[in-house]
Copies of this chain bind each other. A is one copy, B any other.
Amino acid sequence: MSGESTLSPADLARFEQNRLAAKSRIAQARPAVVSNDAAAEPKPTSMQRKRRAIDLTYCEYNLSTMKDTKGGFLYEEQSLPDSKKQKQEERPVVYEPTIDLILENNPQCETCKSIDLDPQYLLHFKVQVCRQCKDKHPEKYSLLTKTECREDYLLTDSELRDDRLLPHWERPNPHKSTYSKMLLYLRSQVEKFAWEKWGGPEALDAEFERRESEKKERKDKKFKLKMNGRR
């Protein structure tokens, strides 16, 4: 699975503190604009925010690196003793075709109850979803790179590093397999975390805008100083 986690319980507590502090700071700076008819019309917003544009880039993984189970057998996450699980993680990823003949006894897709679960999502994100639903609902099940999480949801490196906060799936770097591994996160989990951190999509947007204008501010100031110096 992914690397060891680095945050102690004390760290986690601090995170919570920081989150609240951040929230109150934002609230102070500019009260969150909560639209009451949010559910009615999605309000596509400015396309400036990449977060809005849900692309499917990493929604499907590279089939060449996967083993086809020829029938979507489940693998036995639940029943393995820890020692065996460990061993399994060391091997490339093996599917053990164990399935209960009584259909209801098998883990089901959280959306459609199919038992054709995606084993990678189960393994890396602990999410029970079938291959069909995964593709049909990119707004929940598409994957984001670490960089995207940082830029689009304003998450920090240290948040993204902790597997307990936000699980991730490591894949070979698409540019070159020897480069640093690509880290993939599940959109639904990232959004849940981000909404908690920032206080909802609107607050995140506000923070995004705040930083943008701050950036512009800095730039203007620099430019002005330079002009003055030249005079």
Partner of A8, one of B3, B224, B226, B229: B3
Q: Which residues of B contact A57 (CB under 8 A)?
A: none
User: Which of B6, B180, B224, B226 is close to A4, meaning CB atoms less than 8 Å apart?
Assistant: B6
Residues of A within 8 A of B (CB): 3-6, 8, 10, 161, 180, 224-226, 228-229, 231
18 pairs across A/B with beta carbons < 8 Å? A3-B6, A3-B8, A4-B4, A4-B5, A4-B6, A6-B6, A6-B161, A10-B180, A224-B229, A225-B225, A225-B226, A225-B228, A225-B229, A228-B228, A228-B229, A228-B231, A229-B229, A231-B231
A98 to chain B, nearest CB (A): 32
Q: Which residues of B contact A224 (CB under 8 A)?
A: 229
- Closest chain B CB from A202 CB (angstroms): 33
How far, in whole Å, are A3 and B5 apart by their CA atoms in the complex?
A: 10
Residues on B with C-beta less than 8 A from A5 are 4
A146 to chain B, nearest CB (A): 15
Q: Given A4-B4, A228-B229, 16 other A-B contacts at CB below 8 A? A: A3-B6, A3-B8, A4-B5, A4-B6, A6-B6, A6-B161, A10-B180, A224-B229, A225-B225, A225-B226, A225-B228, A225-B229, A228-B228, A228-B231, A229-B229, A231-B231
Q: What's the least CB distance linking A17 to chain B, in Å? A: 12
Q: Which chain B residues lie closer than 8 Å to A226 at the CB level?
A: 225
Q: A225: which B residues are within 8 A, CB to CB? A: 225-226, 228-229
Query: What's the least CB distance linking A180 to chain B, in Å?
Result: 8
7 closest Cβ contacts across the A-B interface? A228-B229, A225-B225, A4-B4, A6-B6, A228-B228, A225-B229, A3-B8
A8 to B3, CA, bound (A): 8
Residues of B within 8 A of A8 (CB): 3
Contacts of A4 in B (CB 8 A): 4-6
Smallest distance from the beta carbon of A160 to chain B beta carbons, Å?
13
A89 CB to closest chain B CB (Å) equals 15
Measured CA separation A225–B225 after assembly (Å): 6
Closest to A178 in B: B10
A6→B11 CA distance, assembly (Å): 15
For the complex, give the distance between the alpha carbons of A127 and B3 in Å. 29
